[in-house]
Amino acid sequence: MAPVALLAQVTPDSTAGRLTLEQCVAYALKNQAQVQQAQIEEEIGERQIRAQLSGWLPQVAANYAFTHNIKRPQSVFGDQVITIGQKYTSNINFQANQTLYSNDLLLTSRAARFTRTALDLNTQSTKINTVVDVSKAFYNILLSQEQLRILNENIVRQEKQYRDARAQYEQGLVDKTDYQRASITLNSIKADRKRTQEAIKSSTALLQELMGLPVNSPLTLAYDYNQMQQNILIDTAQTVAFTNRVEFQQIQTQRQIQGLNTRYHRWGFLPTASAFVNYNPTFFSSNLGDIYSQAYPTSALGLQVGIPIFQGGRRLQNVRISELQEESLNVELQNVQRRINTEYQTALANYKSDYNDWLTLQSNVQLAEDVYNVIKLQYNEGIKAYLDLIVAETDLRTAQLNYYNALYNVLSSKLDVQRALGTIATNY
């Protein structure tokens, strides 16, 4: 087992020192691009809601106009043609409108909290995926690092065996095939080590991307395999609570919003009412310099009501369309439940299989070590052939690598079970 790393006190904004899994996840939840984009979308949605609700507040506008009448209008009075109006005219119109009732604004008001919920659920879904992806990438690096450690140990052992076999051959005790086999095995292990070293670089780059680390930022992981093994267990008797899943909540929220849309179309025959007040000073003069010397204001206060009398059946069709969309969401909600249940059963089955493999491979590692030690001793005493020693060493290396593969698989399967149950924590 790898030694327990000393855990540095690292803030979520820092990657100095050695990072634990929790610190990697905390950093990702604050700096990953997808999380930041989801939070920006949430802020945009909030601004859009406020912009739409602003329609309930008074709407005040002002308009200004200036006209130079190059050819003034003329009118006939009896036998005379009279030019009317002034050469220069101007007016300023101040208008204030207050909506009293609007079906559109009423829908916006009622849907606001559901829209906020939908935006928040989208952010939560992104965070859940981030926690799972970062955790799996973290475990994958640890797996590769343990594989590298095992291969380094094998290389040290194999180099010694190669030297021993070469010395025995030079002394005439064995033929050259023993050290040749040792050389072949040594080269093969070194190739595996090179492949693993490159895999660590690739896996580290992936984790850096998932965390949102700047390019070329250092990343060193802190881990405790004993603690990881203690965290493997999960209660396999749990049942799925569909309401814990973000996907289920998202469909429910869409259905609630669609229900509001149905009521909006159903009450589309209601009038729109608003009050208004305006003030309109008008200016005119035959001389440009005197145009604003005298104002002739007008003002009005009133109520406007718009009544949709006949729309060609559009409202009824919109009501039916919205009702059908509600039915579609009800079907989707049932389908999501089936999909979640399938996802949970699959994740649970994989977890149980991986957990059983991990337990089995634990004992296999100990057995392979015992077999290797016995055959190594017998080979040194001339009882066993060198081929038997190579087979035993290969079995030991395979058992060790399989054990850490199984450890990664069971940790990954546990994350899938937790995601299926909707119990992935996003508060770090």
pLDDT of res. 174:
66
Banded pLDDT at 173 (limits 50, 70, 90): low
Nearest residue to 340 (alpha-carbon basis) of 425, 419, 414, 415: 419
Nearest residue to 208 (alpha-carbon basis) of 146, 133, 100, 263: 133
What distance in Å separates the CA atoms of residue 306 and residue 313, rounded to the nearest whole number?
A: 18
Ordered structural domains, the chain, with CATH: 18-32+102-145+200-271+307-421 (1.20.1600.10)
Residue type, 65: A
Two tokens, residue 127: 């965070």
Residue 232: CB atoms within 10 Å: 16
3-class state of residue 63 by DSSP: strand
pLDDT of res. 166:
79
What is the helix (H) or strand (E) element at residue 220, kind and residue range? Answer: strand 220-221
Q: End-to-end alpha-carbon separation of the chain, Å?
A: 28
Q: Model pTM?
A: 0.83
Mean pLDDT for 307-328 is 92
Each residue's pLDDT tens digit, 127-164: 999 999 999 999 999 999 989 998 998 898 888 877 87
pLDDT at 105 over 80: yes
pLDDT of res. 1:
35
Two tokens, residue 338: 């089936």
Each residue's pLDDT tens digit, 46-82: 999 999 999 999 999 999 999 998 888 888 887 787 8
Banded pLDDT at 17 (limits 50, 70, 90): low
Each residue's pLDDT tens digit, 22-50: 999 999 999 999 999 999 999 999 999 99
What is the chain's mean pLDDT, rounded?
88
pLDDT of res. 170:
73
Two tokens, residue 177: 């095939």
Structure-model confidence comparison of residues 246 and 72, the more confident one: 246
Mean pLDDT for 82-93 is 88
